[in-house]
Structure formats: C-alpha cells, structure tokens
A and B are shown apart, each in its own frame.
Chain A
Amino acid sequence: MAHPDVQDEQRLTPKGRATRDRIVQAAAQLIVTEGLTASNMERVRKAASVSGSQLAHYFTDKSALIRAVVRRQIGVVLDFHRQPRLGDLDSFDDFERWIDVNMRYLRRIGTSGRTPTFHALTAQLAKSDDATRATLGAGYWQWIELLEAAIERMKARSVLAADADPRGLAMVIVSAHQGGGTLAFVYRAEWPHADAVRFAVNYLRMFATDPAERAPRPPRRPRR
C-alpha cells in the first residue's frame, strides 16, 4: 500500500533521513512565502545546505518534494492530536484541552501567514496538480479518521448519543479548524480560530448524553 515516495523515505539511514528532513523543511517554508518554482529550487538547496546531486538523490522532481512537504505537515497535525496532554482525545475534557492547545499553538506560530500549517499548504497547493491535491486530500482523510476513531470511542462509552455520526462530526471539526486558521491568518488575529474551535467542540457537545455536557460553553473573547 505504501506510495513509491514513502518507500523511498523508509529506505533511508538516520543520517539520510536528517538530510531529507532539512530539504523538506526548507521547501515547506518557501511554499508559504514565495511559492516553490523551478527557479527557486536552488534556494531550497542552499537553505538545506545540500548539493544539487544530493537534492536530486532524495527527490526526483519538484512534485515529489512538494508531496513530501504535505506528508510531513499532516504528520505534525496527527502528532499534535496524539500529544499526551490530550489523553486519548475521547472525552469532553480532552476536547476542551484540544481548544487550549490549539490556541496556544496559534499564539506560538503567530498569525503572520508565514508558517507552513496544513491549511496554508492546502491554500497554496490545491490548484497546482492532481497528484499534489490527492496528497492533500489523503492528509485530510487521515486527520478525519483519527478524530472519527476518538469520537467512535465516546459513542461506544455512551458519552455521545446513538445518533451521533463520528465521521460527520470529524469532518465538522477538521473543517472548522481549517476555516478558523485561514481567517486567523487573513485577519492576523486569534479570534477567528477561537470561535472556530469553540464551535467545533460545542457542536460535538450537542450530541452529549449528559445534559450538563450538552450545554454550549461560551466562546472566549480574545482581542478583536
């Protein structure tokens, strides 16, 4: 099932992997700042301090490099959801912490629009070519499936009602997150993301079996 790009990745030695990571990071940065064009592949090479032949060794072409950037970033997103602080992400308390860590993460990266978050990569790349869009889409499905499994566990424990649709709920949470990130970067402000993640968790709460959990929590008011 592994994509040829992924097989390449798995064959590497630890040192090779580190070199490859440097290239991918440099490319990620360029994609969100000025776009990755044939002409600035040279800048990726310099930023990663590798030779042209090394670059060609790791990535046969620019599209393979772009796909690697997208896969790396969805890995960051999935790891974010698996951080110990979030437990198994399968209780309302876990989801409240998910709101907190999201806002803390946004505060850390800032709203300059120059961080290669997943929504920023999607916005830059979704119209480039079919293979890249398919990689972005696969990333979204992985994210949706992670949340779907967590919500499924909440349903199994009857924290959520029987009519809760874990996959639909997962899509709502991911969509809210991506929309909130986009508006936060446009406004260069945190409030859109605060409203987005609050909406996502309050929507999940609408399916709580416990009436006390079902009540919507008020949105926090960061400066507007």
Chain B
Amino acid sequence: MNDDSAARFTRKGLATRARITAAAAKLMFERGVANTSIDEVRSTAGVGGSQVSHYFRDKRDLTRQVIAARRDDVVSFHSQPQLGALDSLDALQAWADACVADIDTVYLVGGCIYGSLAGELIDADDEIRDDLAAGYDEWLGLFHNGLTAMRQRGDLRDDADPRHLATALVIAHQGGAMVTHATGDSEPLRVAVNAAVDYVRSFAPHPAGRGRTRRTPKR
C-alpha cells in the first residue's frame, strides 16, 4: 500500500503508530471492524486520544493501516523457512500443515486474519477494496511464482495452469477458514487446504496416487 503519510513521523512516532495499528488489528480480528471503536483501540494501545488522531485521520485511515499490517502478516507467514519458496509439493504440503497447526489459536478464534477483514469490508469503497485486492494479488503471486517454477522444472505437467492453481490454494484457504470459524469445527479448513494441495499434486507428471496425504476422517 502506498503510504506517503509515514514520511512525516519520527522513528519514535512510527513506533507509536505501529503500536496503535497492532492494537486495532487485534481488536478487529477478535470482534470485527464494525465492533471496534477508536476509544477501545486507544485504551488497548495505551495511548492518549490525541495521539490516535495525530497518527490517523479517522477510523477509515486506521482500517487501511490494519489492512497493510495484515497483508505483511500474510507475507511473513508464507516466508517461513519450512515453506521454502512454495515451489515443491513438499513445500505446499508444509503450507497446508502450517495452516492446520494454527486452527485452534487463530482460525477458530476469528477466522483468517486477512480474509475475515476482507470479507467484512467487501462493501467498502473502491480504494479500500483496491487495498484488499492488492494484498490478494501479492498472496496469489507467491503461489504463482512457486507453481510456475515447478512447471518449468517439470514437477507439474504443461496443462497445469499456475494462475488457476494459485487461486485454488488461496480460495480453499479463505473459504475453509470462513466455514471453520462459523461452525467452530476444525475440519472444513483442514480438509480444504489439503484438497487444494492434492489438486496441485494431481497435475504432477506421474501423480503418486490420489490424495497421498489426504486425511479426511469422518466427523
């Protein structure tokens, strides 16, 4: 996100601003954007009211900073060493496993940190939706790069479409997170991300049999 406003703050000012953004991100994750007031953000961040208005024009401005912060969170999640460059079936399986490992602490609490924000703001103005789409572009791009490398190396067949497969991975995650959060059941997300990885695997030149790692016990 282009953020010219950051330039006018000192280093200390930027730290305070980041603390306020983090407090807002936490509250919005737990209770939603609509149910988060500037007052609550102020007291959670432990800053005075004038400081919030010093750093953020209004709640909309603060929300845009939260979107940017959550976008960074998504990128750093996908940059964990064990996920490599998301450019092998093992790395993609490690991604699915990493998502599943966070189900209790993240997804059952508030859904996806990015997707739940995006979902709540889908009726927002174009500028906010452009911010959100740019975050998805970046996320899709991470998978797209990895999948393209896999195809170039011959790990995926020529009929594998990196753009389609990248979209399948992100969408399975987003929908699975949504259904898991609403139902309070870990299965939908677990099954959805594993299905997306198995889908990618089905485009390997010699698929090692359907659903090598599929784990879908009955509820």
Segment with Cβ contacts to A, from B11-19, B40-48, B211-219: B211-219
Number of chain A residues close to chain B: CB under 8 A: 55
Count of CB-CB pairs between chains A and B under 8 Å: 178
Q: Determine if B182 and A186 form an interchain contact, defined as CB atoms under 8 angstroms apart.
A: no
Taking the complex as formed, is B59 at the interface, i.e. its CB lies under 8 A from any CB of chain A? no
Number of contact residues on B: which range applies?
35 or more
B178 partner, pick from A119, A165, A172, A207, beta carbons under 8 A: A119
**Provided the pairs A133-B184, A137-B183, A179-B178 are in contact, do residues A195 and B192 lie with their beta carbons within 8 angstroms?**
no
Least CB distance from B129 to A in Å reads 6
Segment with Cβ contacts to B, from A39-47, A61-69, A82-90, A122-130: A122-130
A165 vs B174: C-alpha distance when bound (angstroms):
21
- Residues of B near A59 (CB, < 8 A) are none
**Provided the pairs A179-B170, A179-B172 are in contact, do residues A165 and B216 lie with their beta carbons within 8 angstroms?**
yes
Indicate with 1 or 0, residue by residue over B108-121, a CB within 8 angstroms of chain A CB atoms: 00110001101110
A115 vs B31: C-alpha distance when bound (angstroms):
23
Taking the complex as formed, is A32 at the interface, i.e. its CB lies under 8 A from any CB of chain B? yes
- Residues of B near A198 (CB, < 8 A) are 164
- Residues of B near A222 (CB, < 8 A) are none
A133 partner, pick from B34, B182, B188, beta carbons under 8 A: B182
**Provided the pairs A167-B218, A176-B192 are in contact, do residues A122 and B175 lie with their beta carbons within 8 angstroms?**
no
Taking the complex as formed, is A52 at the interface, i.e. its CB lies under 8 A from any CB of chain B? no
Q: Determine if A196 and B119 form an interchain contact, defined as CB atoms under 8 angstroms apart.
A: no
Q: Determine if B122 and A196 form an interchain contact, defined as CB atoms under 8 angstroms apart.
A: no
Since A126-B181, A127-B31, A195-B171 are in contact, a sample of 17 more A-B pairs with Cβ atoms closer than 8 Å, ordered by chain A residue number, is: A127-B35, A133-B182, A163-B211, A168-B214, A171-B187, A175-B172, A175-B175, A176-B168, A176-B171, A182-B118, A186-B132, A195-B168, A196-B171, A196-B175, A199-B171, A216-B202, A218-B159
The chain A residues found within 8 Å of chain B, CB to CB, are 32-33, 35, 112-114, 119-120, 122-124, 126-128, 133-134, 136-137, 139-141, 144, 161, 163, 165, 167-168, 171-172, 174-180, 182-183, 185-188, 191-192, 195-196, 198-199, 202-203, 206-207, 216, 218-219
User: What would 10 A/B residue contacts be, using CB atoms closer than 8 Å?
Assistant: A35-B34, A120-B123, A122-B119, A124-B120, A126-B111, A137-B183, A167-B216, A186-B129, A196-B171, A199-B172
